[in-house]
Each structure stands twice: as structure tokens, then as C-alpha cells.
Structure 1
Amino acid sequence: MTETEKQKQEQAALLEEGRLLFAKECVFVAGAATLEMLPDLPLNEIAFAGRSNVGKSSLINALTNRNTLARTSNTPGRTQQLNFFELGGRLYLVDLPGHGYAKVSKSKVEAWTRLVNTYLRGRPKLRRVCLLVDSRHGLKDSDREIMSMLDTAAVSYQIILTKVDKSSKSELKSVIEITEKELAKRPAAHPNVFLTSSHKGIGIEELRAEIASLAE
């Protein structure tokens, strides 16, 4: 077997592991709108963060092959609490409130921010944060604030570019290059950027495999 054939075989095995994990039952187990409500859970966690309306709920639904597991909305700021989903008894997926914009009071936004920050900094079972970024717009200051906080807390995170089907090849190439260049300077950032489209199914299998590698 050549080295190339061996790599292809290993990649196929990883994709199959991801498929099998995400084919299992995924159920809502807890929602936390306050610090006191944060649950003490036994399994590893993968959190999904991103600006409001970046497509977090759509991506979670695409990964789990469900249409309504995570609520989707055209109204930014719909997710107003941390939502925990158990996947096949091996992992928790955590949908975080969107940052950067919400049509609510300033005090409520500040309360959400404290809740998310506390969760990200003090969660021993949190294996990785998937930070979703709209491929049409690239990193924004609100994303960089989250990244700096994760760097300081030494929490591993990975940039997931969403809606890549809506960008041209040249635009996407530029965004990838700029993003990877910035990530190279950040200590807790995973070097590889994932390209996804929930609508077209782009990158979903590969992201499932990546997440499966972090499960119990």
C-alpha cells in the first residue's frame, strides 16, 4: 500500500467514525440562562460560538441531520441561553448565544456576555470551541474579542467559515489567507480553517470527523 493509499484509507475511517457518531440520537439536555443554571455534565463538550445570524443553529442541524434540533431564525439574537445537547452518550454540543448584535437591552447583552465568558473560562470538559465566521465578511472585532479571551484562557478553538457557497472562489481564497495569517499569531487557535455550507452540505462530513475525534 502506498503512502497516498494509506492516507486515503485513514481519512475514510475518520469520516465513517464521524458519520456513525452523528447518526446517533442527539437530545436537548439542559439550557442555562444564568450562571446558576450551568449544568455539571460528565462528557466532553464542543461549543459553537459566532456572531448573531452567522448560521450556528443551521450548522448544528446539518451536522446532526435534524431540521429542528437547534432553532433557526432570521432575527439576530434568537438564542438567548446556552443550550446543551447530548450526542450518542459520548459528547455534548453546546449552542452559545450569538455575540456582536442583539435586539435587546444593553443590560441583557452584558448578562449574556458574563454568562458565556464564565462558561468558556471555567469548563474543564470543554475540548474545543468552533468559532463560526461568515465567509462573506471574515473576522470582525467581536470575533477577535472572543478569540483573545480564549487565548488567555488557553481554550482550543477553530474557525469555521460558514456560507461558503455564497462567496466566489477568489473572495473565499482571500478570506482564508487573511484568517489563517491572523490565526498564526494566536496561541490557542487551531491552524486549520474549516469551510462549510449548511445549505449545500459542504464540509459537514469533515467537521463531523473532526468533532468525533474529540468525543469520549
Structure 2
Amino acid sequence: MTDEPDFLEDGRKLFAGPCDFIFASVKASDLPPLGPPEIAFAGRSNVGKSSLLNALTNRKTLARVSHTPGRTQQLNFFALGGQPGAERLRLVDMPGYGYAAVGKEKVASWGVLMRDFLRGRASLARVFVLVDGRRGVKPVDEEMFDLLDQSAMSYQVILTKHDELKVSERAEVLGATTQALSKRPAAFPEIIFTSSHTGEGIPELRGAVSKLLHERGA
């Protein structure tokens, strides 16, 4: 019996490697060809998704941090751990959801893109759904969970803004989030609490990705 790999260390090495933007898709018909495993990041606008992606990859500008919610309007693909075509993994930055100022037509087009992507992408291993730790799970997040459950797509919740909560508040939101996910069929049971500002939870998230790749034989 072999020892279990050191996923934290493997995750650190993985995300210390090259990471390059390779593709943007605005509709399902122009998705890039299937390749290595993919993990996607979803979350409501202003949840801190761009900041998390930058922290995860040790970069300042991989994903644009915007003060204008709803700016990401397409699926952005990044090659991680090697040159495009030889990478170990692809990261997919999904459009932010739940921003009221975005027109209904745009929201509808995003919805179609996300549904088609989630239901028909064989290389998509997991979706990490970011939830604002200061606010907890909101109805708009529940709608995203519904879509993922209906698509039979494995997803894991990442709580953000860890540094902006008191210790007692962290325990409360973690418990409430666990309860919200307890009966959802496609939800992965482990929740990771992160802070892009302090780095809290970032090594654990990298390790979770490394373990996922290991389980898929990648």
C-alpha cells in the first residue's frame, strides 16, 4: 500500500507553473476543443472571483479585478502547468451572476452558455462556486446550485472574505452553508473558507484541485 500523495505540495507546484490565457467563448458553439481536465469558477458578481484566481495562481493580473460588477461576459479559459496543448489543467472563469443592472437579454444569453457548458463538457471535472462569506448563501446562489444539480455536475463551495469576519461569524456562516448543501446531490461536502487578501485557504484549495486531478488519473 503506497502513501497518499502530498496534495498540498503538489498543488503548490501545480499553481506555481505557467498559466496562460488561451480562449474566450461567448456561446457553446465556439468552445475550445476538449483537452486536459477543466475546473470552472462561478460566483455572483463582486464575490471576489477575479481576486481569488489571481491569488490561486500567484499573479496580479491573470483575471481582471473590476469594480464594475458583471464585467466578465464570457467563458475565459487558462492553461495551467504547461504550454497550451501540453498543460495539466485548464481553469475556466465563468460569467458572474446575479447583477441586477445587467440587461435581461444578456442574462439570458449567459444562462444558455452556462447550461450548455455544464451539461455537455466531458472534460469539466468540477465547478467551484464562490459564496461571499459575509453574506452566506443567497437565493441567487441557490439558483446556481439548482442548475448544477440539474446538470449532474460536481461542485464545491468556496467561501470568500475570510479576513473580513470575526471568528464567531466564520463558524456561523460555515455551519449555515453546510446545512444549505446537505441535501444537494451534486455538492461536494467539503467547504473551503478563503481570503485572497491574507492567503487563508488558498493552499487547501490548490490541494483540493491536485487531489481531484489525481483521482482522475491526470
Q: Which residue number corresponds to residue 6 of structure 1?
A: none
* Residue identity opposite 1:79 in structure 2: T
* Residue identity opposite 2:61 in structure 1: T
* Residue identity opposite 2:212 in structure 1: L
**8 Å contact from structure 2 (residues 154, 186) kept in 1:** yes
* Residue identity opposite 1:81 in structure 2: Q
Q: Which residue number corresponds to residue 82 of structure 1?
A: 75
Give 3-state SS (helix, strand or coil) of 1:127's partner: strand
Q: CA deviation at 1:212?
A: 1.5
CA distance in 2, matches of 1:99, 1:177: 24
Q: CA deviation at 1:36?
A: 2.1
The correspondence for 2:147, drawn from 146, 149, 154, is 149
CA distance in 1, matches of 2:18, 2:76: 16
**8 Å contact from structure 1 (residues 77, 102) kept in 2:** no
CA distance in 2, matches of 1:74, 1:102: 15
Query: What's the CA shift string for 1:151-175, capped at 9, x where partnerless?
Result: 1221110000001110111111111
- Structure 1 stretches of at least 4 aligned residues deviating more than 4 Å after TM superposition: none
TM-score norm. by structure 1 comes to 0.92
Q: CA deviation at 1:52?
A: 0.3
* Residue identity opposite 1:61 in structure 2: N
Pairs within 5 Å for 1:77-116: 77-88=70-81, 89-101=87-99, 103-116=101-114
Give 3-state SS (helix, strand or coil) of 1:54's partner: coil
CA distance in 2, matches of 1:141, 1:181: 14
Give 3-state SS (helix, strand or coil) of 1:47's partner: strand
Q: CA deviation at 1:10?
A: 5.4
The correspondence for 1:68, drawn from 57, 61, 80, is 61
Query: What's the CA shift string for 1:40-69, capped at 9, x where partnerless?
Result: 221111000000010111111101001001
Give 3-state SS (helix, strand or coil) of 1:67's partner: coil
**8 Å contact from structure 1 (residues 50, 132) kept in 2:** yes
User: Is the deviation greater in 46-55 or in 107-116?
Assistant: 107-116
The correspondence for 2:132, drawn from 131, 134, 137, is 134
* Residue identity opposite 2:58 in structure 1: N
* Residue identity opposite 1:142 in structure 2: V
Structure 1 position 16 matched with structure 2 position 12: no
Pairs within 5 Å for 1:166-177: 166-177=164-175
How many residue pairs end up in the alignment? 207
Give 3-state SS (helix, strand or coil) of 1:113's partner: helix
Query: What's the CA shift string for 1:143-198, capped at 9, x where partnerless?
Result: 11111111122111000000111011111111111110121111110111101000
% same residue: 56
CA distance in 2, matches of 1:35, 1:148: 20
CA distance in 2, matches of 1:37, 1:53: 27
Give 3-state SS (helix, strand or coil) of 1:214's partner: helix
* Residue identity opposite 2:132 in structure 1: D
Q: CA deviation at 1:102?
A: 5.2
Aligned Cα root-mean-square deviation (Å)? 1.3
**8 Å contact from structure 1 (residues 194, 203) kept in 2:** yes
* Residue identity opposite 1:130 in structure 2: F
Q: Which residue number corresponds to residue 84 of structure 2?
A: none
Q: Which residue number corresponds to residue 18 of structure 2?
A: 25
**8 Å contact from structure 1 (residues 30, 85) kept in 2:** yes
Q: Which residue number corresponds to residue 36 of structure 1?
A: 29
- Structure 1: 5+ residue runs without aligned partners? 1-8
Q: CA deviation at 1:214?
A: 2.3
Give 3-state SS (helix, strand or coil) of 1:61's partner: helix
**8 Å contact from structure 2 (residues 137, 180) kept in 1:** no
